[in-house]
Amino acid sequence: MSKIQVSHAVLDYVDNGKSFNAINDLDLFVEEGEFVSIIGSSGCGKSTILSVLSGIRPLTRGEFLIDGEAVDGPGKNRGIVFQHYSLFPWMTSRRNISFGIKQINNEIKPREVDEIAKQYLEKVGLHGFENKYPFQLSGGMQQRVAIARTLAMEPDILLMDEPFGAIDAKNKLVLQDVLLELLLNEKKKTIVFVTHDVDEAILLSDRVFFMYNKKIEEEITIPFDRPRVREDIFKTPEYLKLRERIMALFFRDVMENIGGNEVVI
């Protein structure tokens, strides 16, 4: 039994009196402890899938199960990290994390909450920044706090919606390495990661799902063992073949949307 099972999923919605289809006959199966990425062109429905998995949006038709049980809304077993940091600006780093912990367990003692918050800040490389407010942190640091807060809530499933998309290139690489390190040291979590970045998807994932025409069009298994070092992986023939394969899927998608066989630059 898969940890996450989505079968024949359809999601329709109405906007300004008009009906739209966001995902159509989508199947997605994720095993326990697996890291999968969903990639595809803008507007293909990647973030919509995460909204379904989080329980925010119910399916119009189809089946959504976690551990074999039907899901009908949000739950404590799922944590979400968004592209934008979503921190409370009036709270310090430590208090932002403590707030998340107390939403899951309001009986835990304050001293214990404080200690857990400090531990997770250390895990994401922010020791010494416990009492800093979001405006005192860089974008990359703020996203580390957001990741630490979600991990401290100890969800079984981690949903990440382009979490590094709004960060500069240098901090993006740093946060990818932080996530790789956390994957080795944390209790194994099931992660669904939405990204536009092909290199990021290959580096982080066990499998990559390419989304096209509002469904999962292709599934690609990533053959590299963990732990992973980007400098070692990115120079291998296997990586180059994977990247070329995924980029070809993007190119076909663009060509069909343009409606022609040539691109004029």
Domains of the chain, each with CATH number or no CATH: 4-77+155-258 (3.40.50.300)
Average pLDDT over residues 55-72: 93
Over the stretch 200-218, which tens digit does the pLDDT of each residue have? 999 999 999 999 888 999 9
* C-alpha span between 197 and 202 (Å, rounded): 9
- The per-residue pLDDT for 259 is 54
Q: Please say whether the beta carbons of 176 and 203 come within 8 A.
A: yes
Kindly report the pTM of this predicted structure.
Answer: 0.89
- List, as one string, the DSSP characters of 133-195: -GGGS-HHHHHHHHHHHHHHT--SEEEEESTTTTS-HHHHHHHHHHHHHHHHHSPP-EEEEE-
- Provide, rounded to the nearest whole percent, the portion of the chain with pLDDT above 90: 52
- The per-residue pLDDT for 261 is 44
* pLDDT higher than 90, residue 168: no
Return the bridge partners of 12, or none.
21
- The per-residue pLDDT for 93 is 95
